[in-house]
Amino acid sequence: MSVWNRTIDLRPAVDIPKTAAKAVEIIEQSGWLDDTPYPDTLRDHLAELKQAEEPYDYVTSFDRIYDVADADRVWIETH
C-alpha cells in the first residue's frame, strides 16, 4: 500500500484548462515547493501549466507534475 506524505486537493480546479492558473495557485500554496528536492523542476512545470491553453498542453504539463508528485510521495486529488 502506498503512503503519501502530502495530499493536494485540486477538485476546485478541475475545469481544464480554464482553471490551470487556479491549480497552480493551489499547488503553490500547499507548501510542496518548500519540501521538494526538485523546486526548480516543479516551478518550470507549474509555469508550463499556467500557460496551457489547449487540453493537450494542460495534460502534458500535468503529467510532468505527476512525475514529481510521485517522486515526492504527493497525492493530487482531482475527483
Model confidence pLDDT, tens digit, residues 12-38: 666 666 678 888 999 999 999 999 999
* DSSP per-residue codes, the chain: ----SEEEE-GGG-STTTTHHHHHHHHHHTTHHHH-S-HHHHHHHHHHHHH--SHHHHHHHHHHHHHHHHHHTEEEE--
Instruction: Return the pLDDT at 22.
Output: 86
- Among the residue ranges 20-29, 39-48, 66-75, the one predicted with the least confidence is 20-29
Instruction: Quote the mean pLDDT of the chain.
Output: 88
Give SS3 for 15: coil
DSSP lists the bridge partners of residue 8 as 76
